[in-house]
A and B are shown apart, each in its own frame.
Chain A
Amino acid sequence: MKHSRHSLIELTMARLKEFWREKEIVFWVFCFPVLLSVALGLAFRGQSEVLIRVAVLDVEGAAELAKSLDEHESIDCFLLTEAESVVQLRNGDVVMLVVPGNPHSYRYDPTRTESSFARLLVDDALQRGAGRQDLLLGKDDYVEQVGSRYIDFLIPGLLGLNIMGSGMWGVGFAVVSMRAGKLLKRFLASPMRKSDFLLSFLLSRLVFLLPEVICILGAGYLIFGVEIQGSILSVLLVALVGCIAFSGLGLLCGTRIKTVEGAQGMLNLVMLPMWIFSGVFFSTKNFPEFMQPVLKFLPLTALNDAIRAIMLDGASLASTAGGLMIVVAWGVIPFFVALKIFRWN
């Protein structure tokens, strides 16, 4: 008759150990979002560093023209033959071709913003080169607003995405694989309290939430200098609400499915639309007006909006309450439905 620890603690410890010992899961939860943010952050780094690529048709006198254009800080200029220029214009390797002559002619696709911009830039450079004087003087006043870069937009989205993924997989998938291995049935055959079992999933998710948040926000800060305008505590609380919500939703997804393949299908079915429609990688404003009300009520959209409001706009926790209610509803309702229809064997 030995004293033993409470089953809730044992169940939670078991979940934590299983999670930690599964190296693949650790990769997806901790390394993948960081790698993704690095990759996307590099691909979409500040536009000012980008050079406009234009070409000059390689005829007599073209070399000097090209050289003078290439000296411009925002222009990268090449000499191309007629044949090469056709291909490169089509591929977008260069966005405009200058055909030297009198007058020079500019060959470009006016529906492409970048090409139209190149035309203005090149024309301006050539006019100045020919000695034009500016009649009006303009002064540049660059907007250096914090949180306006793509990476600033991306990091909160990745945080939301990660909270969704680890909650849904961590609960939904785990429950189904236990059912598939008849472990749930074995638990049912013991006097284990079901509430302890379900609570252990939530607790283990919460334990891992903090390192997840630190990992993503830390990488964003250290690599890209993404800062949190609002309070860190508010971000953590929103993350907590999101974590609970997606654990509930994950549980619902896993209530009745019998095979791990079925679970994968189900979870992807639920999560993939949110990868696209919830403003993770680009704003939901890109979708037509009539879709907006629907998109706004997706759990991940509501979560991302709340995280961004706090991180980028420095909003208070109270001002995100509306969105958080949506997130909470997505967690609580599925949780109780799941309890009703849960299958142990």
Chain B
Amino acid sequence: MDLGYNPMKLPVCSIRKEILLNQDDVVIRCRGLVKRYGDVTAVDGLDLEVLRGECFGLLGPNGAGKTTTTEILEGLLPADDGDVTVQGLRWGESDAELRQQLGIQLQETLLPAKLTVTEVLRLFRSFYHNGHAVQEILDTVELNEKKDAWVSKLSGGQKQRLAIGCALVSEPDILFLDEPTTGLDPQARRKVWEIVEKFKSGGKTVLLTTHYMEEAERLSDRVAIVDHGKVIALGSPRDLIGRLGGEDVVEFSVEKGVRLPDAGDLESLTGVQSVLIQDEMVRLSVAKVHLAVPALLEKLAETGAQLSMLTTHHATLEDVFVALTGRHLREA
């Protein structure tokens, strides 16, 4: 199966992952993380391990606790409970050392509006002992043309690339990206992805937070699906999608007032792996869409049900999330 993305990429990543899993080189580890805001439990006993050289994605809907988790790992928020180590070090003990090693892009930062791109990068560069020359970063994040423009004059995508540039300027071992492409158009998004891929190709670690499943699928070696402050599924995008049992998803609904075929009947259709009925909508996870659809149509004709909608698509992490929670990642 081909997920439709850069075909060169997948094998490379999975090979690197194999090697690293063997070394068990864990750069970020957290156990039983809890964070409460009054009555709200933003993070509810979350465990995760990020391995050296991988891109680890935290995927979840709004309010799942991704930012809270990330900021605890970044040492910006104290946890109410749980244990965090980064590069084997702990916040509160080795902060100065850790800060030199991490590159951080926050979910929303307004960089100084009246400074130029170069000035902002130079400012951030001055905080670190080692790192790249400002010119190298301008090249990496493709802001050479804008290097003398004020931050306030940049487009959303350019601002975001500058924010990532500020995180990269220290040549960090670990890069934290919190929703780096939210609000960007597809082209700007692709540019950000290329920057992340380039960073990762140097064997560096990335912790990425997103609620775009395409982003998680394209960039991440492993994904933790987070909901209500907990990890509800963990694995490579392929594994997770594979767990649905089928490579494709068929969704349909029928005219009101007509009885649907039983779930059991649907499941016994050729090629259908599992069935999820939600209100009016039926989702079938299917292995062989070219067999399953004709079989479905035949079955519906038997029961006299009229289709009001029918779609099919390759299974994605979105489908994994729906299968696990019955909800969508982004409520439209």
Interface residues, chain A, with chain B CB atoms under 8 Å away = 1-2, 4-7, 9-11, 13-14, 17-18, 21-22, 181-183, 185-192, 345
Contact = CB atoms under 8 A, between A and B. Distances in A.
Nearest to A345: B76
Contact of A4 (B75, B110, B122): B122
A17 B127 CA distance: 18
Contacts of B170: 190
Contacts of B74: 189
B96 to A, nearest CB: 6
Contacts of A14: 112, 115, 119, 123
Interface residues of B, number: 32
Contact of A182 (B75, B108, B112, B150): B108
A7 B126 contact: yes
Contact of B99 (A5, A182, A189): A189
B99 A2 contact: no
A189 B104 CA distance: 7
B128 A186 contact: no
Given A7-B126, A18-B112, A185 B99 contact: no
B109 A181 contact: yes
Interface string B202-232: 0000000000000000000000000000000
A17 B114 CA distance: 8
User: A-B pairs with the 5 shortest C-beta distances?
Assistant: A181-B110, A191-B99, A10-B126, A2-B133, A7-B126
Contact of B115 (A6, A18, A185): A18
Contacts of B131: 1-2, 4
Nearest to B96: A191
Nearest to B111: A183
Contacts of A18: 112, 114-115
Interface string B79-117: 000000000000000001001101010101111101100
23 contacts: A1-B130, A2-B133, A2-B134, A7-B123, A10-B126, A13-B119, A17-B119, A18-B112, A18-B115, A182-B108, A182-B109, A182-B110, A185-B106, A185-B109, A186-B104, A186-B109, A186-B111, A187-B127, A189-B74, A189-B76, A189-B102, A191-B96, A191-B100
A6 B110 CA distance: 23
Interface of B: 74-76, 96, 99-100, 102, 104, 106, 108-112, 114-115, 119, 122-128, 130-134, 150, 166, 170
B110 to A, nearest CB: 3
A77 B112 CA distance: 62
Chain A CB within 10 A, most for which of B126, B133, B150:
B126
A135 B235 CA distance: 115
A41 to B, nearest CB: 34
A181 B126 CA distance: 21
B249 to A, nearest CB: 38
B162 to A, nearest CB: 12
Given A10-B122, A185-B109, A188-B76, A17 B115 contact: yes
Contacts of B150: 21
A135 B145 CA distance: 90
Nearest to A21: B114
B123 A10 contact: yes
Nearest to A1: B130
A57 to B, nearest CB: 65
B128 A191 contact: yes
A9 to B, nearest CB: 8
A190 B108 contact: no
Nearest to A187: B127
